Amino acid sequence: MICKANKGWFLLSLVAFFVVALLSSTPSHAQNLQVDLSSTSNLCGGQQCFNTAGLFTTGTQFIGTSGMDNGHNGCNTPPYTTCPDAYSSTQLGLSSTTPPTLTPPSLNVPFTFGTVNTTNCGPSTSVDCTVDVVNFTTSGVKITLPAANQIVYSTMIILGTAVNGSHSGKITATYTDATTNVFTQTLSDWCGFGGNTHESIAVGGISRINSDGTLNGARCNLYAYTFPLDFTKTLESITLTDNDGSGASFALAITLKPPSYTISGSVANPTSVGPGASSTATVEIDPQPGYIGTVNLSCSISPEIIGQPPSAATAPTCSLDPTSVTITAGETSAPTTSLTFTAATPSKASVQVGNKLVYAFFVVPGIAIAGFGLGSGTSRRKRVLGLLLLAFLAATLLLTPGCVSYKHLGNVGTPPGQYTVSITGVDENGLTQASNATGTSNTVVVTVTE
């Protein structure tokens, strides 16, 4: 009995061993890394990477500080003559958690920010403000990742801005083999989006905060700078350098995306469709080396049908089949999905008849009357008047067809034009697609004809 029991325990242990071995050999699903730039991380030469106070709740004063732009908006608290600006965490929509976080809908990527100033600080209060923004320096702010986070990444996204106009910065990604990716980046002024390479609006249309705690009337933005990384190498550090010596370029948060996937669409078949017709395209989901996961897909169409009542026009539709794909280890071919684009059919149409009535009740009888005036029994004066009337009516007759307006009395369906279908993905860990390789796009273009 004892031998049998020992045999049973041995078999159970053996099974457990193989299960653990199997699980440990299975690649883990990739997740985003929100870089910790705070004092607890010591990523920048043994100290925190933040070097400027730039985040305050609305109503918090920081009079006498340099803020982010050392502005001169007029401070009414002597002896201070400057009134710098900063970001309002309230306007940005940062969470109230510690540390505060934000996931901009336009990016669908989470970011971790520095500690927000919630009490009055600065020389006017003799209380130091908490630094929570990275000001690029001419020597470069080098952010070395902890050893555990030095892995392969596909994309780096930095939330930041320039102030007092647009400025030039340099972002350097250094790998463990000492190779680098260097990006020379123009950063837009926070209140003047320039649409620079790698740049998009993460949070837009917000007010800055003055150092007296009030909001000013400017409509400003926080920008996202998205850089493709070498996903065949291990990332070691990131360096933020002030390229033009302005001291006016800033970073608020950094998130690194691990090996991801790209989405690429084929040419639509057919490329042009009429009302009520459909076009299809094959869409590939291409995993980068090491990526596994389930990608949920969606599509959207631009331009939107706007400026008309809903009853006047109908936007085209798009659908995907399937709406999700699963990528496993050792994929030999990229999974695909089928995109269908459909243009709406008009309900009915009619020609406006106003000018036809003019033709029926004025032009035709007028010509008849003018004709009688040209008879052989009429006087010379009446003939001249008849000729003039006939010439006028003939001109009216010629112009009338050009004045007839065709008017749809029902829904016109999808208006003619070119439409772009964008396909996007997000996996179970919130990981969105990486930037497309040159020559590929996650869009499909379809033209709708009349």
270 and 380 share one domain? no
Radius of gyration of the chain (CA): 34
40 and 117 share one domain? yes
165 and 282 share one domain? no
**How many structural domains does the chain have?**
3
CB-based contact 291:260 (threshold 8 Å): yes
Alpha carbons 416 and 409: distance in angstroms, whole number: 17
307 and 417 share one domain? yes
233 and 110 share one domain? yes
389 and 420 share one domain? no
- Within a domain: residue 12? no
CB-based contact 181:274 (threshold 8 Å): no
> Could you give the count of Cα atoms lying within 13 Å of 170 in the half-sphere of its Cβ?
17
Q: Which domain-ending residue is among 223, 257, 291? A: 257
297 and 426 share one domain? yes
94 and 130 share one domain? yes
Q: 264-297 burial string, b = 16+ CB within 10 Å, else e?
A: bbeebeeeebebebbbbbebbbbbbebbbbebeb
140 and 282 share one domain? no
279 and 426 share one domain? yes
Name residues whose C-beta falls within 8 Å of residue 357's C-beta, 6 or more positions apart in sequence.
none
326 and 358 share one domain? no
- Within a domain: residue 235? yes
- Within a domain: residue 4? no
Which phi and psi angles does 302 have, rounded to 5°? -130, 150
The residues that bridge with 289 in the sheet, in sequence order, are none
- Within a domain: residue 10? no
Name residues whose C-beta falls within 8 Å of residue 113's C-beta, 6 or more positions apart in sequence.
55, 89, 94, 99, 100, 101, 102, 132, 252, 253
pLDDT of the chain, 450 residues: tens digit per residue: 444 444 444 444 443 433 333 333 334 456 899 999 998 999 999 999 999 999 999 999 998 888 898 766 656 677 877 778 999 999 999 999 999 999 999 888 999 999 999 999 998 899 999 999 999 999 999 999 999 999 999 999 999 999 999 999 999 999 999 999 999 999 999 999 999 999 999 999 999 999 989 998 889 999 999 999 998 899 999 999 999 999 999 999 999 999 989 999 999 999 999 999 999 999 999 998 888 899 999 999 999 876 555 568 899 999 999 999 999 987 888 999 999 999 999 986 544 444 444 444 444 454 444 454 545 555 666 565 555 655 655 555 555 544 444 454 568 899 999 999 999 999 988 888 988 888 889 999 999 998
Instruction: Return the amino acid letter for 313.
Output: A
Q: Which domain holds residue 322?
A: 261-347+412-448
What CATH number is associated with residue 297?
A: 2.60.40.3880
Q: Is cis: bond before 322, omega within 30 of 0?
A: yes
